[in-house]
Amino acid sequence: MGKAENRRLLGLLCGNDMLRTRGFSFSCAPTGGIVIDRFGHVHGIWDFDGRNYAWQSPGSTEPKFKTEDVKSAVLYTLAALDQG
């Protein structure tokens, strides 16, 4: 679900110079979500559930953050990865 939305977010994340220079990479999970990885360590997963972009931290079973806006998803990613 949400393939187009996930592709849009993936494009914005891949195009973010700050994330790239810090060594983060992004890939599509088998479920269609976006896996955020750095040096073999998963930092989070985004997925669009039909209404919201949902951020799930590693080891969590429930989303930690949801937003309808792709730009807010990018901003949240920057903040979350800055803390981690």
CA distances from 37 to 19, 26, 68, 69 (A): 11, 6, 23, 22
Among the listed residues 72, 83, 82, the one whose alpha carbon sits nearest the alpha carbon of residue 19: 82
pTM for the model stands at 0.90
Note down pLDDT in tens along the chain; length 84 residues: 588 999 999 999 999 999 999 999 999 999 889 999 999 999 999 999 999 999 999 999 999 999 999 999 999 999 999 876
